[in-house]
A and B are shown apart, each in its own frame.
Chain A
Amino acid sequence: MNNFESRNVKLETTALNPGLNALLKLVHYLFVLLSFGIIIMVLWYFSLGGAFTVEEQERVLIMNFGELSETVYTPGWHWNWPAPISEIVRIPVSRKTLISNAFWYWDSSALSGDKKNKSLSEKLVPGRDGYLFTGDTNIIHVGFGIFYHISDPYKYYTKCVSPEDPRLDDFEYLNENNDNLGTRGPQTQLKALLENAVIKATSKETVDDVLAPSYRKNIENAIKLAVGQADLGITVDEVWYNKTRTPPLGAVQAFLDVFDANNFKYSRIEEAKSYAVKTINQAESESVRISADAQAYKTEVVANIKADVDYFKAMLKEYKKNPDIVLVSRYSEVLGEVLDKATNKFIIRNNQSGHQELRLKLNPEPPEKKKIRKNQ
């Protein structure tokens, strides 16, 4: 009976639903396929699923069940448990730029596009015009930029609140009413540190110190110190002027006048120095000439007297033999030479009475000069 019944059921099943058989087969295959897929997924999970690469411009931190490991993964290929066991955090380490124009004035020409006609406002409006106070109560505008990089990725990520992906800029913070409450993140904090350091450093210096070249270095040192003390895992590489230092526009000309005055001062000093060098050199050369003249005089005087002595000795010898002839002939020779040189000679007859009058016009004006003047 049992054999009969079972045979009947089998026959009934086979005969009743061949489609069901096909469906069962399909389910069976799908199950096998699903199992195969799960095996593949498990294999993938324990092999390639945890593989990741770190680029040159970034470092990677790993969180295992949320707990951050202090190991910093450097560029290359790495493996770790995939999510949800582990999670990787990519930290950018390439150089970044941060700009602060908090101390710059509002430029109306920026809106109109007319750069030549900047408004020379005599007043600065709080909240619109930014500026700095110097220690001697002067006002200065300046814009700063800094180059920085993340030197300690672990500290950077754990110390300061950052976007979910730290490679992105600071996030805008909104309240329940979607009002913007400003940004939050490391850039916001770094900017606050920068502006605070600039305010404090500038408020201790005079306006002349601020306009001196050393000011940038002082600010750089102050910012580096402030960021170092904050210990955010950030290193400031360089500080630069995004907008160069300037007094309020209304006072710019007065400041330029000081530069002109300085130029005037140093120009006069240089001229005086040049005069001093020239004068002293001339004096030295004059001194040398005076000394040489004196030396020449000495030589000449001695040489002359020696020559006179020699001449005297020679003449004396002849004089002793025949005094009158020597004297007269010598006298006549000299007189001849003298008269030869003289331009005008007047020989007057000796008056026996002893009284004689002679009128001469001395130093007549040269006739050549008269002609020249007439021509002129």
Chain B
Amino acid sequence: MTEHHHSETKKNKVHHSTMLLGIIVAVVFLIAIFSYQLQSTNYAVISTLGHVQQEKNPGLHFRWPYPIQKIYRFDNRLRCFEGNIGKLEETLTADRHNIIIGIYVVYKVEDPVILFQRERNIEHAEENLNSLMRSAKNEIVGKYKFSDFVNTGSKNKLDMIEKDIYKLLARVVLEKYGLKVTDVGIKSLGIPEKVTGKVIERMKNERNAKSEAIRQEGLKIARKIRDEADKERKEKLAIANANAKIIRSEGDAQAASYYSIFKEEPELAIFLKKLDALKRIVEHKTTLVIDTKTAPFDLLQAGAERLESNKDDNKKRNSKK
């Protein structure tokens, strides 16, 4: 009897653990069927037998199992879309210039229900967005001159052009496709092939003219520097010569103050000066022509062997005779 009771208890234990395991599996299974997770980076569109509603809050949500409810997820983060249609298309500016302009659009899903109902998915929406981008771009480019696209400083209106395209696109895209455009930018800016040739030719001509202008400017500046240096040189030398003249005149004035001493015997002074001058004048390779009247060559004359006083005495004697 006791043995039988023990075996019954053992069987019950086995059943309890089996049941617990079954319950766990069932709970996990039910959670998997009746719930879904929505990530922070996604919005969801829940379709309940054809009736759609959106879910934007992330987390664990209740759902009816498929096929009663279908869940469609849309990434709610920014996407950068360049669009291929019309990327290399020529567009006419207000002043009749052809330009080739490519733009990009940054957008995100704002109203997933509109997107789902109108386009079903992002791919279809982007195809239509591409067409809208093309027409908006053409419309806005036609309002601006070529110089608004390419110009130095504040005359450049690229920012304004981008804003205008953005304004034209943003409202329509949100209403039609539930997409919010956050930014529009120009990604390429060009001109037709045949015009590039002319631009390159003009660039070459401009550069050649510039080269010549730079060379001439260099020569001009160099000439100016040289002229100024020459002028400064002349000024410096003129000042130096003027100062020198003053110093020399000071010397001459000082020297003149000594001349009064010569007044004591002017003839002697003049005689000595003459001798001094003669010594200085006659240097080597000088040819001197002197007659015999000049002392001491008067010694070469007849009677030079007698002194002047004896000559006078002889003259006196001869006269007495």
Bound together, the chains give a CA A238 to CA B173 distance in angstroms of: 36
Q: Which of A240-283 contact B (CB under 8 A)?
A: 247-248, 250-251, 254-255, 257-258, 260-262, 264-269, 271-273, 275-277, 279-280, 282-283
User: Shortest Cβ distance from A219 into chain B, in angstroms?
Assistant: 15
Bitwise, A115-137 to B at CB < 8 A (1) or not (0) is: 00000001111110011111111
Partner-contacting stretch, out of B62-70, B133-141, B277-285, B312-320: B277-285
Q: Is residue B86 within 8 Å, beta carbon to beta carbon, of the partner chain?
A: no
Q: Is there an interface contact between B60 and A65, defined as CB atoms closer than 8 Å? A: yes
Bound together, the chains give a CA A122 to CA B300 distance in angstroms of: 105
Q: Is residue A138 within 8 Å, beta carbon to beta carbon, of the partner chain?
A: yes
User: B38 is contacted by which of A35, A66, A300, A343 (Cβ under 8 Å)?
Assistant: A66
Q: Is there an interface contact between B275 and A330, defined as CB atoms closer than 8 Å? A: yes
Q: Which of A278-314 contact B (CB under 8 A)?
A: 279-280, 282-284, 286-288, 290-291, 293-295, 297-302, 304-306, 308-309, 311-313
Q: Does more than half of chain A's interface fall in helix, strand or loop, or is it mixed?
A: helix
Collect the chain B residues with CB atoms within 8 Å of residue A345's CB: 287-288, 290
Bound together, the chains give a CA A193 to CA B234 distance in angstroms of: 63
Bound together, the chains give a CA A363 to CA B113 distance in angstroms of: 124
Bitwise, A158-199 to B at CB < 8 A (1) or not (0) is: 111110000000000101100001101000110011011001
Q: Is there an interface contact between A196 and B88, defined as CB atoms closer than 8 Å? A: no
Q: Is there an interface contact between B275 and A334, defined as CB atoms closer than 8 Å? A: yes
Partner-contacting stretch, out of A15-23, A144-152, A202-210: A202-210
Q: Which of B109-163 contact A (CB under 8 A)?
A: 123, 126-127, 149-153, 156, 158-159
Collect the chain B residues with CB atoms within 8 Å of residue A283's CB: 232-234, 236-237
Q: Is there an interface contact between B243 and A161, defined as CB atoms closer than 8 Å? A: no
Bound together, the chains give a CA A136 to CA B202 distance in angstroms of: 12
Q: Is there an interface contact between B14 and A301, defined as CB atoms closer than 8 Å? A: no
User: Shortest Cβ distance from B190 into chain A, in angstroms?
Assistant: 5
Bound together, the chains give a CA A206 to CA B187 distance in angstroms of: 20
Q: Is there an interface contact between B291 and A349, defined as CB atoms closer than 8 Å? A: yes
Count the B residues whose beta carbon is within 8 Å of the partner chain — how many? 128
Instruction: Determine the residue in chain B with the shortest Cβ distance to A68.
Output: B40
Q: Is there an interface contact between B279 and A334, defined as CB atoms closer than 8 Å? A: yes
Count the A residues whose beta carbon is within 8 Å of the partner chain — how many? 134
User: Shortest Cβ distance from B87 into chain A, in angstroms?
Assistant: 8
Bound together, the chains give a CA A102 to CA B149 distance in angstroms of: 18
Q: Is residue B53 within 8 Å, beta carbon to beta carbon, of the partner chain?
A: no
Q: Is residue A344 within 8 Å, beta carbon to beta carbon, of the partner chain?
A: yes
Q: Which of A189-232 contact B (CB under 8 A)?
A: 189, 192-193, 195-196, 199-200, 203-207, 230, 232
Bound together, the chains give a CA A286 to CA B91 distance in angstroms of: 73
Q: Is residue A342 within 8 Å, beta carbon to beta carbon, of the partner chain?
A: yes
Q: Is residue B94 within 8 Å, beta carbon to beta carbon, of the partner chain?
A: no
Instruction: Determine the residue in chain B with the shortest Cβ distance to A125.
Output: B193
Of the candidates A267, A271, A300, A334, the one having the most CB atoms from chain B within 10 angstroms of its own CB is A334
Q: Which of A23-81 contact B (CB under 8 A)?
A: 28, 31, 34-35, 38, 63, 65-68
User: Shortest Cβ distance from B155 into chain A, in angstroms?
Assistant: 8
User: A257 is contacted by which of B123, B207, B276 (Cβ under 8 Å)?
Assistant: B207
Q: Is there an interface contact between B233 and A279, defined as CB atoms closer than 8 Å? A: yes
Collect the chain A residues with CB atoms within 8 Å of residue B151's CB: 135, 203-204
Bound together, the chains give a CA A99 to CA B295 distance in angstroms of: 110
Bound together, the chains give a CA A291 to CA B183 distance in angstroms of: 79
Knowing A35-B17, A272-B225 touch, does A297 contact B251 (C-beta < 8 A)?
yes
A-B contact pairs, 30 of them (CB 8 A): A31-B17, A66-B39, A67-B59, A68-B39, A122-B197, A123-B197, A199-B158, A203-B151, A206-B152, A230-B183, A232-B78, A254-B203, A258-B214, A262-B214, A265-B214, A268-B219, A268-B221, A272-B223, A276-B229, A279-B233, A287-B236, A294-B243, A298-B248, A308-B273, A316-B264, A323-B268, A338-B288, A341-B282, A342-B282, A343-B287
User: Which residues of A are at the interface with B, using a C-beta cutoff of 8 A?
Assistant: 28, 31, 34-35, 38, 63, 65-68, 84, 102, 122-127, 130-139, 157-162, 173, 175-176, 181-182, 184, 188-189, 192-193, 195-196, 199-200, 203-207, 230, 232, 247-248, 250-251, 254-255, 257-258, 260-262, 264-269, 271-273, 275-277, 279-280, 282-284, 286-288, 290-291, 293-295, 297-302, 304-306, 308-309, 311-313, 315-316, 319-320, 323, 327-328, 330-332, 334-339, 341-350, 358, 360, 362
User: Which residues of B are at the interface with A, using a C-beta cutoff of 8 A?
Assistant: 14, 17-18, 21, 24, 37-42, 58-60, 75, 77-82, 84, 87-88, 100, 104, 106, 123, 126-127, 149-153, 156, 158-159, 183, 185-190, 192-194, 196-197, 199-201, 203-208, 210-212, 214-215, 217-219, 221-226, 228-230, 232-234, 236-237, 239-241, 243-248, 250-252, 254-255, 258-259, 261-262, 264-265, 268-269, 271-273, 275-276, 278-279, 282-297, 300-301
Contacts A298-B248, A360-B287 known; list 16 others, CB within 8 Å: A38-B21, A63-B40, A66-B39, A139-B196, A182-B84, A192-B82, A254-B204, A258-B214, A264-B214, A267-B218, A268-B221, A269-B221, A280-B236, A294-B251, A301-B255, A348-B291
